[in-house]
Chain A
Amino acid sequence: MEIEFKVNGENVKIDVSPKKRLLDILREDLNLTGTKEGCGKGECGACTVLFNGERVNSCLVPALQLPGSSVVTVEGLRRWKSYPAIERAYVEHGAVQCGFCMTGFAMSTVALLKEQTFPLSREEIKWGLGGNLCRCTGYSKILDAVEEISHRDDILEQVHEDWQHEI
């Protein structure tokens, strides 16, 4: 089926099976390989993207629901004005190891910052990132990074502003 939708702010038009997963469309048809597949069952969060402004597992979104939608992947996110601050926190806290889950965490982080009221408690951050599994880090440094960002009003404002422009 022919599908027109928006990916990272640009209109795309593709012809794919209606059952094709958004994850595969991104990776195979659009060459956006920053989105990873860890399980294909909506459990690990490695394929998290923003779909109409909400974070979802792209392995569970079928093509047939894409027409007219707006998708943001990590390739789009890394152009956001707020992204460098998020990157800095992850790098400075040493939150990255093998990295395979990391783009999913980046997407969830920016979504969490948008969804919640601030600053976030440690417990809220844990629940907010509960849909992203990591096997390397023990999560502690990821939580530290996000906790720091959630205390920074300037970053939060920028996230909200980006949200208006980029979704």
Chain B
Amino acid sequence: MKASPKEFRVDAAEKLSGATSYIRDEQIPGLWYGTTVRSPHPRARIREIHLDPHFDWNTVTIVTAQDIPNNYVAMLENDMPFLAEKVVNYVGEPVALIAAPTRAEAEEAKKHLRVDYEPLPAILDMLEAEKSSIKLFGENNLFKEIVIEKGNLETAREKAAAVVELEARTGYQEHLYLEPQGMIAIPEKDRVILKGSLQCPYYVKNALTTMFAGLKHITVIQAPTGGAFGGKEDFPSLLAGHAALLAVKSGHPIAMFYDREEDVQVTTKRHPSYHHDVAYVDQEGCLLGLDLHLWLDGGAYCTLSQVVLARAALTATGSYYVPNVRIHAKAVATNTVPSGAFRGFGGPQAVFAMEMLMEKIAQRLGLPPHEVRRKNLIKEGQDTATEQVLKYSVSARETFEDVLQESDYEQKYRQYQEWNKPILEKLRKGEYPKSNRHDRLRGIGLAAFLHGAGFTGTGENKIQGKIRVELTAEGKPLIFSAQTEMGQGEQTAFRKILSDALYIDRDDVLLAEVNTDKVPDSGPTVASRTTMVVGSLLVDAAEEIIQQLSYRLKEEQGVQFDYRRGYFYGGEQILSFREVAQKYAGLTVEKQYHHPPIIKFDDIRWKGDAYPVFSWAAAVAEVEVDPVTFEIRVVRYFTTHEIGKAINYNQAVAQIEGGSLQGIGYALYEKIKLQNGKFDISGFTDYIIPATTETPEFQVKILENPYPFGPFGAKGLGELPFVGAAPAVLSALWMIFGKEFNHLPVLPEDLLQLFSKQKNTEG
């Protein structure tokens, strides 16, 4: 389906034609190149940094921990140094920086710098962290521990007809944005300008202001950003620190441009997780109680693990109502690359475990998996694990029923089971399974999922995001916000929201460059908050602009002016917005976000409104498995989302398709293992993301159920589609094989093994 012209992206043509200038496309005279000396050990003491005396060090600049005024990246815990000083805590941890006029010279210099280490024992297994005698963080290596309790699990245990237990695991995931991390630092007398590929300019500004102990003014400018997905949320603060240190010491502008291998080796990944869950259910599969334990591997430093854990814990019961719950969640420290933000932010791991638990309940009770889900889906008026009563915009059931219908789930489920029988029978007997060349096992799976829109708990109140709108001399409103475009469509959405609110042409709305000297801190571009939270400020700003313009017209002309659909009507006059805005050019309106007062959260006891609202979705994945090679393909993917209101329907669908395919990658292709604490991937060759040949035929539908505090009713979208894709795909594998699938990713090798076992035990 084509978009309507109003929905065309404002940045599409320039990007396609190559006119958009990403950070590596900048032409900066006198630019030097920085490189990073990194630890080869998961944990080691640094004995000495040794410089080869035969090398001419006058032509390069070296930075070590000693050069840094405040050697920590200001984030949640301030535990991560810009450069390790005494101890390194993960393979790839930065120890020193070198800059030179060319990349080759910097790399050459690196060969002449040797770091002597004394290797130390390391924690490489997240389940060993808490009890380990090695102390990486606090007394027990827990970045955070969360316990959420509701009701009484004892009651559930007593009443339960069945107790279903599940262990589940998810692996690392790499963002693999097409544009690797890149940052340029330009030194001036009392200031350093940072320009780069990043999501959160004020995170970088704050981190660097702290690093320089306030001695430098920091200006952060976002360059067009070639994908981020959370990968450019926390990491750029570290990278910008490195670039700035080299820039200040050398006096030259410095580029820190990672190549793909460095990027996948040392930047943050999605937190691996381990789950141990128990469900208490009645005969019909209704949840009486859930006892959920979850661990996230945070890696060597905290970064954002505490809030990732919070979202995981707060999402752990999925789209379901449960009367009695205990959630016990821990984020632990290990000697691995710090895990960080990634689309979904803990939600995908939690929902995966919950959905697999649903599969297991269905299997145990001999009920169809959709029936078990259907019975438990949460409704308006019910409460979540934190006793948040869902008062508005709740569509767990609506999205679920809709996707079942759109996909013809129930009928296909039966059909495919019949179809698979002879193939499975032959596989079990070890016979050649195909009657025809193209015979495949057919699976259909489903998942219900949700995403809490905006920051967790009191986060928005802490940020209190601000925006500003100015009227230019041409009578065009110019938006100043710190929200960034990284492909998700922020620029298009903001211009559309403000132009719709003002009833003016989208092309007449302008966006200021994201530069911390110019734009107010509207908060980071994360947590699916941009449209819902900052977008609502734009609507507020539009209202105030109209009010002020009407007021000024009245002051000047003594007549009441009313604004309707782009025109001011007063007395005999009809004035266009443009005319009036030109007249009062320079008018500035500022808006600051305040959480709707009815939303209250206690983040010590974990009670109350964890999120202002949730976005809801359900998905059905149709999967084919080649019975000869066990290759798995998702052939069709249906999903129904309810995001309040789609600001740009076409682009909302595009987000959903893209997020879903990332989730399919997470389910079936994307695998990273550690070898002595080192990731075993080097880039696109060995980290497999879906190509065009892996994309299913999508059927996406968006339902409306407006959120009273969002712009035009909109809620958050960006992360939601990712959350349910992997469980939907795995649900289809449960359906085909009738076996438990409890880890991500699932590869053909796993299916084969499952079959060898099946053959042995049953054959």
Please list the residues of chain A having a beta carbon within 8 angstroms of any beta carbon in chain B: 27, 31, 33-41, 43-44, 46, 73-75, 78, 83, 86-87, 90-103, 105-106, 125-127, 129-130, 132-143
Shortest Cβ distance from B379 into chain A, in angstroms? Answer: 31
Known: A41-B685, A136-B658, A137-B658. A98 touches B487 (CB 8 A): yes
| Chain B contacts for A103, CB-based, 8 A | 15-18
Q: Please give, as numbers and ranges, the residues of chain B lying within 8 Å of A101 by CB-CB distance.
A: 178
CA distance A98 to B488 in the complex (A): 7
Once A94-B9, A100-B227 are accepted as A-B contacts, the answer to whether A78 and B17 lie under 8 Å apart by CB is yes
22 A-B pairs with CB atoms under 8 Å apart are A35-B18, A41-B683, A94-B8, A94-B12, A94-B651, A96-B9, A96-B15, A97-B487, A97-B488, A98-B15, A98-B225, A98-B486, A99-B14, A99-B487, A103-B16, A130-B692, A132-B692, A133-B178, A137-B654, A139-B661, A139-B695, A141-B654
* Per-position 1/0 for B637-657, Cβ under 8 A of A: 000000000000011011001
Is the beta-carbon distance between B11 and A96 smaller than 8 angstroms?
Answer: yes
A135 touches B177 (CB 8 A): yes
Whether B19 pairs with A34 at a CB distance below 8 angstroms is yes
Query: Taking A38-B179, A92-B3, A94-B7 as contacts, is the C-beta distance between A135 and B16 under 8 angstroms?
Result: no
- A91 nearest in chain B by CB position: B12
- Does B737 reach chain A (CB closer than 8 Å)? no
Q: Which of B20-28, B75-83, B364-372, B493-501 is the interface stretch? A: B20-28
Option from B229, B660, B698 in Cβ contact (under 8 Å) with A135: B229
B693 touches A127 (CB 8 A): yes
Cross-interface CB contact of A43 among B20, B227, B660, B684, cutoff 8 Å:
B684
> Bound complex: CA of A34 vs CA of B24, how far in Å?
11
Size bracket of the B interface: 35 or more
Q: Which residues of A contact B225 (CB under 8 A)?
A: 98
Which has the most chain B C-beta neighbours within 10 Å: A137, A140, A141? Answer: A140
Known A92-B3, A98-B15, A135-B229; 6 more pairs at CB < 8 Å? A33-B18, A91-B8, A94-B9, A98-B487, A140-B698, A141-B657
B612 CB within 8 Å of chain A? no
Interface class of chain A by DSSP: loop
In the complex, what's the smallest C-beta–C-beta distance from A108 to chain B, in angstroms? 10
Q: Would you give the shortest CB distance from A80 to chain B, in whole angstroms?
A: 11
Check B164 for interface membership: any CB of A closer than 8 A.
no
The answer, among A94, A106, A142, for a CB contact under 8 Å with B17, is A106
A135 touches B662 (CB 8 A): yes
Task: Say yes or no: B684 contacts A99, CB within 8 Å.
Answer: no
- Cβ-defined contact, A126 with B693, below 8 A: yes
Bound Cα distance A91, B4 (Å):
10
**B489 contacts A by Cβ under 8 Å:** yes
The reply to whether B695 and A138 form a contact with Cβ atoms under 8 Å apart is: yes
* Cβ-closest chain B residue relative to A92: B2
Most A C-beta atoms less than 10 A away, residue of B27, B175, B179, B486? B179
Residue of B nearest to A33 (CB): B25
With A and B bound together, what is the CA distance between A116 and B416 in angstroms?
Answer: 36
Q: B695 near A39 (CB under 8 angstroms)? A: no
Question: Are B695 and A140 in contact (CB-based, < 8 A)?
Answer: yes
